[in-house]
């Protein structure tokens, strides 16, 4: 066994598998039933070993393009939505037909980003996935491209897979693409392991470029942004070539394939997971170094005295981003004050707030129970 991942896959039970369009199409961009069958064969094998599989699959637009005989990816949103509407059913039929041959069923789940903004809808989504897994089905998740608008789009299925992983907390996220892993541009070699978020940030800054493709979106930069969320959620990730035979088994055996991304040691759980990665941010609070240390090192609440700058258009109970004095986001939380009131009390001591606002007030701007620190401890 290769030690590049340090036995990270030894006890894997739940897997989120993202399958890129390039894995499901030929070199000329045509949708490939053979590719679907090959991947479902591997999924079936893992299920027999007791693995729970959640699939995030691209390919609906490419399948629709193939059906409609469109050779270049449409540029307008209505055309993309039309291709998705044609292709999504055909994509699901391909998965279901392949799954039946192995004695299990698939289940379609279509999402838009606003489906995760709302806490209740987020919980319903997570509960549905867990119920499907308990019933022995394999959920196939995709963005609802036929109705998504720019405001509620995930942008690409790499990001969707990361947010699904953050929601259901699998043991492993696998991103299957058409490259062997993360490539060091200077050395022209595959990087077998990224050991920390800091190392990933260095890779994003120094090693990444986005290629122009006719049939897909995303690219390496999108994948690494998604992987960053997953690492900070405490989930191991792997990027590998999905066209290789038995690639899923090779990953779980930690053979010398792909790039393994080692997560932070702890995990955000429950409501704080939703706060960190799924809720819609309405504003930004910049805090001083004392507040930063209190929040990150001591698990304290955020007080008005530590707030130095306020941006946005938020009201009491909205989600805001919290940044340090370098403008780097490190936390998110439910704010107890509106933008207007917080502008009046920032930098003030707690005992001064009632007199300034002439009202009964909260002691904390954000209580620690309503605050999620974005994990960076390696």
- My answer on whether 32 and 163 are in the same domain is yes
- My answer on whether 175 and 324 are in the same domain is no
3-state helix, strand, coil in the chain (%, to 5): 40, 20, 40
Does residue 9 lie within any of the structural domains?
Answer: no
- My answer on whether 196 and 344 are in the same domain is no
Beta pairing partners, 52? 14
Does residue 98 lie within any of the structural domains?
Answer: yes
Asked if 204 and 281 touch (Cβ cutoff 8 Å), the reply is: no
Q: In sequence order, what E strands does the chain have?
A: 14-19, 52-57, 106-111, 138-143, 172-177, 183-184, 189-190, 193-194, 236-241, 259-261, 281-287, 307-312, 319-323, 329-334, 371-373
Per-residue pLDDT tens over the stretch 227-261: 988 888 888 999 999 999 999 999 999 888 999 99
Q: In the listed set 218, 235, 264, which residue is the last one of a domain according to the structure?
A: 264
Q: In the listed set 236, 264, 292, which residue is the last one of a domain according to the structure?
A: 264
Q: In the listed set 264, 298, 323, which residue is the last one of a domain according to the structure?
A: 264
Question: What residue numbers bound the domain in which 356 lies?
Answer: 280-373
Cα 325 to Cα 106: distance, rounded to the nearest angstrom: 48
pLDDT score recorded for residue 306: 95
pLDDT score recorded for residue 73: 85
Residue 322 tokens read as 């919290």
Q: How many domains does the chain have?
A: 2
Does residue 272 lie within any of the structural domains?
Answer: no
Asked if 140 and 107 touch (Cβ cutoff 8 Å), the reply is: yes
CATH of the domain at 335: 2.30.130.10
- My answer on whether 187 and 239 are in the same domain is yes
Per-residue pLDDT tens over the stretch 295-323: 999 989 999 999 999 999 999 989 999 99
pLDDT score recorded for residue 210: 45
CATH of the domain at 110: 3.40.1160.10
- My answer on whether 206 and 294 are in the same domain is no
Does residue 285 lie within any of the structural domains?
Answer: yes
pLDDT score recorded for residue 205: 75
- My answer on whether 111 and 38 are in the same domain is yes
Does residue 274 lie within any of the structural domains?
Answer: no
Does residue 275 lie within any of the structural domains?
Answer: no
- The low-confidence residues of the chain, meaning pLDDT below 50, are 1-5, 151-153, 209-217, 377-378
Asked if 377 and 296 touch (Cβ cutoff 8 Å), the reply is: no
- My answer on whether 226 and 291 are in the same domain is no
- My answer on whether 224 and 102 are in the same domain is yes
């Amino acid at each position: 066994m290769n030690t590049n991942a340090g036995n990270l896959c030894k006890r894997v039970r739940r897997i989120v598998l993202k399958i890129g369009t390039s894995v499901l199409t030929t070199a000329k961009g045509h949708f490939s039933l053979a590719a679907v069958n090959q991947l479902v064969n591997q999924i079936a094998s893992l299920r027999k070993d007791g693995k729970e599989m959640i699939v995030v699959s691209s390919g609906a637009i490419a399948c629709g393009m193939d059906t409609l005989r469109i050779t270049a990816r449409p540029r307008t949103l209505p055309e993309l939505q039309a291709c998705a509407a044609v292709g999504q059913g055909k994509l699901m039929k391909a998965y279901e037909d392949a799954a039946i041959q192995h004695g299990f069923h698939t289940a379609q789940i279509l999402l838009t980003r606003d489906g995760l903004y709302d806490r209740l809808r987020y919980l319903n989504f997570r509960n549905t996935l867990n119920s499907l897994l308990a019933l022995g089905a394999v959920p196939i998740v995709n963005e609802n491209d036929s109705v998504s608008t720019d405001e509620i789009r995930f942008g690409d299925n790499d990001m969707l897979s990361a947010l699904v992983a953050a929601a259901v907390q699998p043991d492993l996220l696998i991103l299957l693409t058409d490259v062997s892993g993360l490539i060091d541009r200077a050395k022209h070699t595959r990087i077998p392991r990224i050991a920390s978020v800091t190392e990933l940030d260095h890779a994003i800054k120094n090693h990444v470029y986005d290629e122009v493709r006719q049939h897909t979106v995303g690219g390496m930069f999108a994948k690494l942004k998604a992987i960053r969320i997953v690492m900070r959620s405490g989930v191991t990730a792997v990027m590998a070539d999905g066209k290789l035979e038995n690639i899923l088994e090779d990953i779980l055996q930690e053979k010398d394939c792909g790039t393994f991304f080692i997560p932070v040691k702890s995990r955000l759980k429950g409501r704080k997971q939703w706060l960190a990665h799924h809720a819609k941010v309405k504003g930004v609070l910049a805090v001083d170094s004392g507040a930063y240390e209190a929040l990150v090192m001591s698990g304290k609440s955020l007080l008005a005295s530590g707030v130095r700058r306020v941006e946005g258009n938020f009201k009491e109970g909205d989600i805001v981003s919290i940044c340090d004095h370098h403008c780097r986001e490190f936390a998110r939380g439910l704010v107890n004050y509106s933008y207007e009131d917080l502008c009046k009390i920032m930098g003030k001591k707690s005992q001064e707030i009632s007199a300034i606002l002439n009202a009964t007030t909260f002691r904390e701007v954000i209580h620690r129970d309503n605050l999620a620190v974005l994990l960076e401890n390696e």
